[in-house]
Structure 1
Amino acid sequence: MRPALQNVYQKQQTEISAAPSKRLAAEQAARKMFVQKKIAAPEHIAFIMDGNRRFARQKGQAPAWGHRMGTQTMEKILQWAYLSNIKYMTVYAFSTENFKRDQDEVNNIFELLEKTIRRLSEDEKVQSKSIKIRMIGDASPLPERIRNSFLELEEKTKHNNKMCLNVAIAYGGRQDITQAFLKIAQNAESDTINDAEIAKYLFPFSDETVPDVDLLIRTGGENRTSNFLPWQANGNDAVVVFHQKYWPEFNLKDLLGTLRRYQKIVKERDDAKQKRLERIDEFLG
């Protein structure tokens, strides 16, 4: 790593590794903000973390730097989501399409991923806050060291139950649905195939305790969902919000604003539904 990049990265790491008292003060401030704003949190929130490379290009840095900054944002968002009582968070970390990128960039992403897994595994807050961490996707194309590291992290956190972080790696929504139908064909106990039967074989919802996505957020200015959770989010009529900011720039204010927007959309939907029911009752009565 070039000296200039090393200095920037070390500064960022120093800020994240602040003294416990400072971290506690930050947590308390964030919690107070959520309470004061009276934000109604969704149960399950998902992120398409887009814009790392463009952010790096904008700053005159290499793609690897952008991915590191994006990882730091993900860890901050995880903390804020926990403080807002969001029970499930799913992040799109690496898609099946990402394997087509430049091999050096893919290798850098895998190296960063391995370091992030190790850091989360050693982070006492993950255990003290009872956060379960799971990988979703096809692990077979991943380097063995990545697969083994994630298996160890999953095993270490499998009994945690306050919050669940699903990390989508080598994931593609169409591939997920295709694999689900193949498994159904092999294992179905009856000739009847319904939504519940299909969901049993889909990531991450093969775990029956994981609900459908309520809110899907994509950063980076692209207004599409890019093959991410097509059954669990789009098929569930989740609220979808597109942000112009690149992922490394996404902050607490943006999250709060999105949660307020989610609350407003849900209320408008509920009000419209109630009015339809009232009109039906009036017509039938």
Structure 2
Amino acid sequence: MSWIKEGELNLLEKISASILKAGPMPKHVAFIMDGNRRFARRKNMERQEGHMQGFDKLAETLRWCKHLNIQEVTVYAFSIENFKRTKDEVEGLMELAKQKFERLLEERENLEKHGVCIRVLGDLNLLPLDLQRLIAKAVLATRAHNKCFLNVCFAYTSRYEMTNAVREMAWGVEQGLIQASDVSEALLSQCLYSNNSPNPDLLIRTSGEVRLSDFLLWQTSHTCLVFQSVLWPEYSFWNLCEAILQYQVNHKSIQNARDVHREHQKLLQLEADRTCALSAEHLQRHGNGKPADAGRRQEALSHYVARRQERVRHFLEALTTKRDSFFTDLCDGGLA
């Protein structure tokens, strides 16, 4: 089945979508697509068929999101913990992923028409090399598209992602690109796999489980969480509408919490900058060792902030280059 399922909403769905869109709409929705195996057991089918139907449901859900003007979707496709499943099931999931990314590459023109950018978040080194190369080709083939975004979390857990972000900052310090004092909550966010995306507005988990299972723990601190009992292959347009309604009911409190957190981050960064700027060493350079007056303190602070921002900018550019090189190297110099 295609990644992008064509087709319009029926009349009732169109009316409902119009009503929903009159209120605040999530721009970024994340899904924990749970219940494929239970669905297969219930229907007396092979597990692999349950996973296949789960992928088909993703394609249908992306169509609904498109009609609801949801510009970004993130899905939990394969957790690092899933490697603990039986050998047959893991191999089957890897084979399914290969088939779907091969199909994606066959649909480049359709993806370009819809402006779909595919990103794959996770440690691709844990995957078979042929799958790594297919993923790299898909990412590079769609990276210039900017109308809508699909983030596929594959070989991913949130704790692994955060640990990797800390490693990236440590690498920046070792390379002399940033200083230890530049490390902050905001910088860590920019070192996550998801650094190119805004945090999700709404996270939906199906199958009745009420836990995040190590998915986007950092990014969902101010996100509406909706847990639904339906198994993922049975997910419907109306289930999605129900989740969006819950988001709309809670939108104001979520937005207030985000605003408060954003202001708190700014204050913390300002205090950290002020402490560094007014250190004895810095004043020695910019104040000739004399007690600093208010004007000189402000000058020192402005100078320090400008230098910190420049260091961080160069570090993030280097980090982007390093990550891009990983994909281009996998493609052996091209998409052919």
TM over 0.5: yes
| TM-superposed deviation, 1:243 | 0.7
Determine whether 1:253 maps to 2:247.
Answer: no
| TM-superposed deviation, 1:34 | 1.5
* Structure 1 Cα separation of the partners of residues 152 and 12 of structure 2: 27
Contact persistence 2:24–2:251 (CA under 8 A): no
* Structure 2 Cα separation of the partners of residues 216 and 254 of structure 1: 13
Determine whether 1:129 maps to 2:131.
Answer: no
User: Which one has a bigger Cα radius of gyration?
Assistant: 2
| TM-superposed deviation, 1:44 | 1.2
* Structure 2 Cα separation of the partners of residues 122 and 30 of structure 1: 30
- Deviation digits for residues 154-206 of structure 1, max 9, x if unmatched? 1111110011100000001111111111111120412132221101211111x
Unpaired runs of 5+ residues, structure 2, are 259-336
* Structure 2 Cα separation of the partners of residues 77 and 66 of structure 1: 16
Determine whether 1:229 maps to 2:216.
Answer: yes
| TM-superposed deviation, 1:25 | 4.0
The answer for the alignment partner of 1:45 in structure 2 is 29
CA 1:60–1:269: 2 relative to 1, 3 Å: same
Instruction: Find the partner of 2:51 among 62, 67, 71.
Output: 67
- Larger displacement relative to structure 2 (179-188 or 167-176): 179-188
| TM-superposed deviation, 1:247 | 0.6
User: 5 Å matches for 1:98-247?
Assistant: 98-123=82-107, 124-188=109-173, 189-190=178-179, 191-205=181-195, 207=196, 210-233=197-220, 235=221, 237-247=222-232
User: 5 Å matches for 1:3-14?
Assistant: none
The answer for the alignment partner of 1:35 in structure 2 is 18
| TM-superposed deviation, 1:113 | 0.9
Unpaired runs of 5+ residues, structure 1, are 1-12, 274-285
Instruction: State the SS of the aligned residue for 1:47.
Output: strand
CA 1:163–1:30: 2 relative to 1, 3 Å: farther
Contact persistence 1:49–1:93 (CA under 8 A): yes
* Structure 1 Cα separation of the partners of residues 142 and 93 of structure 2: 23
Taking structure 2 as the reference length, the TM-score comes to 0.70
* Structure 1 Cα separation of the partners of residues 124 and 257 of structure 2: 43
The answer for the alignment partner of 2:266 in structure 1 is none
| TM-superposed deviation, 1:26 | 4.2
* Structure 2 Cα separation of the partners of residues 204 and 30 of structure 1: 32
- Percent same amino acid among aligned pairs? 35
CA 1:85–1:104: 2 relative to 1, 3 Å: same
Off by >3 Å, runs of 4+ in structure 1 = 23-33, 267-273
- Larger displacement relative to structure 2 (130-139 or 186-195): 186-195
| TM-superposed deviation, 1:127 | 1.5
Contact persistence 1:30–1:83 (CA under 8 A): no
- Deviation digits for residues 61-108 of structure 1, max 9, x if unmatched? 111010001000111111111221112111000000000101111111
